[in-house]
Amino acid sequence: MSIPLAASAPVIDPSPASGVFNLLWVVIALPALGAALILLLGNRRTSGFAHLLGCATVLGSFVISLVLFVTLLGRDESDRQVGQVVYNWVDAGSFHAPFGLLYDQLSALFLLLITGVGSLIHIYSVGYMEHDARRARFFGYLNLFVAAMLTLVLGDNYLVLFLGWEGVGLASYLLIGFWQHKPSAAVAAKKAFVVNRVGDIGMALGTMLFFATFGTVSFAGISAAADRADDLTMTFLGLLLLLAACGKSAQVPLQSWLLDAMEGPTPVSALIHAATMVTAGVYLVVRSNFVFDHTELAQTAVVVVGAVTLLWGAIIGCAKDDIKKALAGSTMSQIGYMMLAAGLGPAGYAFAIFHLLTHGFFKANLFLGAGSVMHAMDDDVDMRHYGALSKAVPVTFLTFAIGYLAIIGIPPFAGFWSKDKIIEAAFGDNLVVGLATLVGAGITAFYMSRVMLMTYFGRKRWEEGVHPHESPKVMTIPLMVLAALSALGGLLIFGDWIVDWLAPVVGPEPELHLGVPTIVLTLVVLVVVLVGVAVAWLTVGRHEVPRTAPAKVSFATRAARADLYGDAFNEGVLMRPGDRFVEGLVVFDDRGVDAFVDGTASSFRGMSGTFRRLQTGYVRSYALSLLGGAVLVVLALLAVNIA
């Protein structure tokens, strides 16, 4: 495929699937089948084998993904886009959308991430959910999620993408609310779905604007015609897609659901709310590069959202005592990095995806590690009740430590390579943006060191009767694999491999213009990171951690604890006035519209006698009114006829 001149994005032009690529649909079908079997047969009938089936289907998809990837590697660079139309999904009037799949360099990486990390988390869940009576159903939901996520990244048009988009939303809803006997879990699940639906407005309107502009919703058709569209349309499209991305990826201002989503079982937090689903917004922006490359305004909006969120999430992460919420704040922040990179255009697309992959490794690693700690501590999530766990859960500690080094960006661990690239690209774009990423790196180092110190070091602050023990092998082996990936994920950037690999999809990376040699910037970043670690040591590590959170804290800490008042804002500005509006409308409907109508009705009653009589003798009165109607018909027609 030839790279077009100037700044226009590459055109998607897949060749029909042949050979092993005919198996593309099976990658989705396997977990979908698993989900259907488990959920239709029911929890009781499948409790003996659902966990095995659940793991087997995702592993099967992983094996196919691997084969597909190797085959794609073997193909010529110009021939690495494969399309498969499974069937014609919607044909209505002049609107057509096939159930079409696109396997290219971008979706290939996602397939490996989703099925690879997905398999590990499935296996881990066998142990983690062992004592849950509804484990079979849990695996049904997990399989449903994987099938939907694969649909999201494989769809070759925006309607199929939307199918996956809402499918993962549904799975997320079901899994956040998995323990729905707890009202907090049920509320969190609903909140996640509703906030995501706000984002879906962008997705829906965007898809419609695509059709109205291009007469198609397929990536191939739109990318081919994108150069001819006017800039204003492209700006609207970009902003609508950004709205969608904000919902799914928990970016400001639609970030509030992610912290509550930690109500779900921890493997869910690892798979859906860290490694895969929440990164779908980044995928959407990168996939739609043929839109964003035409609109500087929308790109700037993406960068701003990313920059704000990366700081927002990091600040929240600093103040949380709940280990999962600290990690959730971190996820929000890291996705902010990816979003920011995606907003930089061809200079950042590849790095956004690179960081997305490494983050998928180390954040899954950290979340599963947190789950392992919770397993040891009788499901307590309060880090103030932890301490000195490095000896009690040594495997978890070591793997968690590798994830920790990866996320704060210590060389040679994965996060160092991917975050450093984003910071470089950010400085290359704009000093303020660059500083935001730099400060973010320091805060990340602080809050992650805080988590490390409070959990594994210091004195024991355990609740009475807690006897921590290392998790079983079925849980620790996935941890070890993820730790290895967190350590080695940086290899993807060697020889600029991932940049070259993605160039045919996202366009070639333009030359970077930094005022200083990149090594200088790298060293500055490292210094900032070490400062963050040092601050954590001085404020948390050196002192005894109180078992209850101190109440007398600075305004900043209070604000961070309250998620920077995101929920307070939603409640005050949206929910309470909304409730009042709903109440008002119901009253209006009952008293206003209905009273008017009842009034009209009573004048009818006046004519036909008392209401009582109408009610009791209604058979007769109905017959009369019908007869009256019939007589009217005949009279009217006769009158007209005679006249």
Q: How far apart are CA 255 and CA 583, in angstroms?
A: 27
**Interface with another protein (CB under 8 A), residue from 194, 432, 624, 631:** 194
Write down the least CB distance from residue 88 to another protein, Å. Answer: 5
Write down the least CB distance from residue 455 to another protein, Å. Answer: 32
**Interface with another protein (CB under 8 A), residue from 10, 34, 54, 98:** 98
Q: How many CB atoms are located within 10 Å of the residue 395 CB?
A: 18
> Which part of the chain contacts another protein (CB under 8 A), choosing from 207-215, 284-292, 302-310, 311-319?
207-215
| Closest CA relative to residue 303, chosen from 342, 330, 329, 333 | 342
**Interface with another protein (CB under 8 A), residue from 4, 26, 73, 91:** 91
**470 or 571, CB closer to another protein?**
571
**288 or 399, CB closer to another protein?**
288
**85 or 477, CB closer to another protein?**
85
- Helix (H) / strand (E) containing 256: none
610: DSSP letter? -
Q: How far apart are CA 328 and CA 342, in angstroms?
A: 21
Beta bridge partners of 16: 83
Does 155 engage in binding with another protein (CB under 8 A)? no
> Which part of the chain contacts another protein (CB under 8 A), choosing from 50-58, 286-294, 403-411, 631-639?
631-639
Q: Tell whether the torsion through CA atoms of 234, 240, 243 and 245 is positive or negative.
A: negative
490: DSSP letter? G
**465 or 599, CB closer to another protein?**
599
**3 or 586, CB closer to another protein?**
586
**40 or 527, CB closer to another protein?**
40
SS (H, E, C) 9-39: CCCCCCEECCHHHHHHHHHHHHHHHHHHHHH
Write down the least CB distance from residue 24 to another protein, Å. Answer: 14
**39 or 357, CB closer to another protein?**
39
Does 534 engage in binding with another protein (CB under 8 A)? no
**Interface with another protein (CB under 8 A), residue from 26, 67, 70, 582:** 582
Per-residue burial over 472-482, b = 16 or more CB atoms within 10 Å of its CB, e = otherwise: eeebbebbbbb
Q: Pattern 298-337, binding to another protein, x per CB under 8 A?
A: ----------------------------------------
Does 204 engage in binding with another protein (CB under 8 A)? yes
Q: How many CB atoms are located within 10 Å of the residue 66 CB?
A: 14
Does 631 engage in binding with another protein (CB under 8 A)? no
**Interface with another protein (CB under 8 A), residue from 104, 156, 420, 429:** 156
Strand order in the sheet with 15-16: 15-16, 82-92, 95-103
Does 614 engage in binding with another protein (CB under 8 A)? yes
Tokens of 44: 């009781």
Q: Please, are residues 514 and 521 in contact by the beta-carbon 8 Å criterion?
A: yes
Write down the least CB distance from residue 408 to another protein, Å. Answer: 38
